[in-house]
C-alpha cells in the first residue's frame, strides 16, 4: 500500500515534519507535490458543487482538492487495493506503523477508512469491527470534517476522480458527507490514528483554515447573530429528535479520540 503525503514546494518545513513523523513510527512514504493555488488561478474557473452556493470555495480549498486528486490518480493506477493519503501537518499515534504497514485489517466492503480525528462531534454505527492493536472501526453516519488522513480503495479513487472531473468541491465534503458520498461504505477508525498538529502541537497552523476564515470574515459569515427564541427552541427540539432517532437506529454520537502519540511502557 502506498502512503502518500501532499506537500507544497514552498513548505519544506512541513515535509521535514512528516519525515520525522514517519521515521518515528518506522515506516516510509512518498511525497506528492501539492497543487499551489497561487500558481493555478485557472482552477477557480471550474464550476463549484451546489453545496458551496452560500460560500464559494477559496483558492486554497480548490487547490487542496486537486492535490488530493493527484493522490487519487496514483492510487487508481496502483496494483494495491488501497492507498493512504495524508496532508503534511499530521501527527501520528505511536502505533500507526502497525496499521499502515498492510491492509489485512481493512473490511472487504470498505471504500474509505477515515484515520484522523477533527475533535468534532459525529455519529457512528454502534457495530464494532476490530482492527487490532487496540483500534476498532465503525461505520461513519454523519459528516466528520478534515481530509488529513484516510485510506481509499482503488475503485473509489477512480470514482472520486470521475466525480470531480468537471466540478470543484471541498475534499472532506466529498468523502465524509454521507449525503454526498451516498453509496460508499465509509468507516471511522476509533481511536484515531492521526490528527492535525494544530490540535496537538500547535506548531503548524492550518494554511487552509487561514484563507477560509478570511473569506468567511469578508463575506460576513463569521459574524454570529443571536437567533430568535423560537428558532433556538426549534433547533434544540430537532437536536433531541435526532438523538432519539440515532439511538433507535443503533447509532452513537462521539468525539473521536486520538490514540496516544507517545508509546506506553
Residue 264 resides in a domain: no
Residue 150 resides in a domain: yes
Task: State residue 231's pLDDT score.
Answer: 46
Predicted confidence (pLDDT) per residue in 165-183, tens digit = 988 999 999 999 988 888 9
Q: Is the pLDDT confidence value at 226 over 50?
A: yes
Which residue in 92, 97, 90, 85 sits closest to 34, CA to CA? Answer: 85
Of the two residues 213 and 85, the one the predictor is more confident about is: 85
Residue-number span of the structural domain to which 153 is assigned: 1-216+237-253
Residue 227 resides in a domain: no
Q: Is the pLDDT confidence value at 56 over 50?
A: yes
Predicted confidence (pLDDT) per residue in 58-101, tens digit = 888 999 999 999 999 999 999 999 999 999 999 999 999 999 99
Residue 95 resides in a domain: yes
Percent of the chain with pLDDT over 90: 67
Residue 262 resides in a domain: no
Q: Is the pLDDT confidence value at 238 over 60?
A: no
Predicted confidence (pLDDT) per residue in 38-51, tens digit = 888 777 778 888 88
Q: What is the CATH number of the domain that holds 19?
A: 3.90.550
Into how many domains does the chain fold?
Answer: 1
Residue 261 resides in a domain: no
Residue 222 resides in a domain: no
**What is the pTM (predicted TM-score) of this model?**
0.84
Predicted confidence (pLDDT) per residue in 130-139, tens digit = 999 999 999 9
Residue 223 resides in a domain: no
Amino acid at each position: 500500500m502506498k502512503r502518500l503525503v501532499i506537500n507544497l514546494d514552498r513548505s519544506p518545513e512541513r515535509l521535514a515534519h512528516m519525515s520525522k513523523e514517519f521515521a518515528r513510527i518506522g515506516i516510509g512514504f512518498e511525497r506528492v507535490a501539492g497543487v499551489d493555488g497561487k500558481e493555478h488561478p485557472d482552477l477557480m474557473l471550474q464550476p463549484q458543487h451546489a453545496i458551496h452556493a452560500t460560500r464559494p470555495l477559496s483558492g486554497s480549498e480548490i487547490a487542496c482538492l486537486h492535490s488530493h486528486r493527484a493522490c487519487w490518480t496514483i492510487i487508481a493506477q496502483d496494483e494495491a487495493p488501497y492507498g493512504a493519503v495524508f496532508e503534511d501537518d499530521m501527527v501520528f499515534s505511536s502505533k500507526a506503523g502497525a496499521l499502515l504497514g498492510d491492509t489485512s485489517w481493512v473490511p472487504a466492503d470498505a471504500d474509505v477508512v477515515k484515520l484522523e480525528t477533527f475533535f468534532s462531534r459525529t455519529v457512528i454505527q454502534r457495530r464494532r469491527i476490530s482492527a487490532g492493536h487496540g483500534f476498532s472501526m465503525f461505520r461513519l453516519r454523519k459528516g466528520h470534517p478534515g481530509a488529513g488522513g484516510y485510506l481509499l480503495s482503488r475503485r473509489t479513487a477512480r470514482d472520486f476522480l470521475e466525480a470531480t472531473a468537471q466540478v470543484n468541491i471541498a475534499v472532506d465534503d466529498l468523502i465524509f458527507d454521507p449525503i454526498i458520498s451516498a453509496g460508499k461504505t465509509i468507516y471511522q477508525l476509533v481511536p484515531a490514528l492521526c490528527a492535525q498538529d494544530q490540535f496537538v502541537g500547535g506548531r503548524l497552523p492550518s494554511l487552509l483554515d487561514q484563507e477560509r476564515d478570511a473569506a468567511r470574515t469578508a463575506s460576513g459569515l463569521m459574524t454570529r447573530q443571536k437567533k430568535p427564541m423560537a428558532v433556538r427552541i426549534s433547533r434544540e427540539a430537532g437536536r433531541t429528535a435526532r438523538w432519539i432517532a440515532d439511538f433507535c437506529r443503533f447509532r452513537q454520537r462521539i468525539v473521536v479520540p486520538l490514540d496516544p502519540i507517545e508509546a506506553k511502557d
